[in-house]
Structure 1
Amino acid sequence: MKESDTVPEIGQIVRNRRGRDAEQYSVIVGIVDKRYVFLADGDKRKFDRPKRKNLAHLELIDYVSPEVKRSLEETGRVTNGKLRFAISKYMNEYVIDLKEGEQVDG
């Protein structure tokens, strides 16, 4: 599946491929249109000041944080701590497994 075929979701983890924040992970906290999304990581980029980023510069990870998605759907907001938790949970469950020799097709 090509990356242009994937549709971003609120709460989805992404890896930045370009720019100052290259190789960093963030969470989609808003969708502008079919080309741009708003990102925050709860640390350097807080929820109150999300980064608008072109989807062509992102690698969409096949992981959506249920905590972040539920919080944004219910209240329209999410805490920065919850964003940091979602990223660290993804990193602990999936990225560390890759360092142990597993490979992901993608």
Structure 2
Amino acid sequence: MLSEKIRVGQVVKSLSGRETGRLFFVVKVIDPQYVLISDGKKRKLDRPKLKKVKHLKVYKFFNEEVKNKIASDKITDAFLRAELTKSKNNF
């Protein structure tokens, strides 16, 4: 199943909806079909977007630092934006 390879801290690209083409980090895996995504700019951490996995392009890039900060609740929107900007160079 597709969602088995998705985990917190992974970079994904939206394939449908208003945010088509935008990059996000997965901030929570709800179940095999749904995840919460955030980019720290338009979709902030206090209101992440619930998205179906089938509407996302999953990149192999995974950010361990983002995962650790999300787990410890010490993450900010500014940090998320900065890491996403740095991550764009890895594709």
Q: Please report the TM-score for the alignment, with normalisation by the length of structure 1.
A: 0.79
Larger displacement relative to structure 2 (45-54 or 76-85): 76-85
State the shift of 1:6 in Å: 4.6
1:68-79 correspondence runs (5 A):
68-73=66-71, 75-79=72-76
State the shift of 1:81 in Å: 1.1
RMSD (Å) for aligned C-alpha atoms: 1.6
Q: Report sequence identity in percent.
A: 31
The answer (yes or no) to whether the contact 2:36–2:48 under 8 Å persists in 1 is: yes
What are structure 2's unaligned runs of at least 5 residues? none
State the shift of 1:23 in Å: 0.3
The AA in structure 2 aligned to 1:46 is: K
Higher relative contact order (Cα pairs below 8 Å, separated by 6+ residues):
2
The answer (yes or no) to whether the contact 2:61–2:90 under 8 Å persists in 1 is: no
Runs of 4+ in structure 1 off by over 6 angstroms are: none
Report the number of matched residues.
91
State the shift of 1:72 in Å: 1.5
Secondary structure at 1:33's aligned position in 2? coil
Matched, 1:86 2:83: yes
State the shift of 1:4 in Å: 2.3
Bigger Cα Rg: 1
* Aligned counterpart, 2:35: 37
What are structure 1's unaligned runs of at least 5 residues? 96-106
1:43-58 correspondence runs (5 A):
43-58=41-56
* Aligned counterpart, 1:63: 61
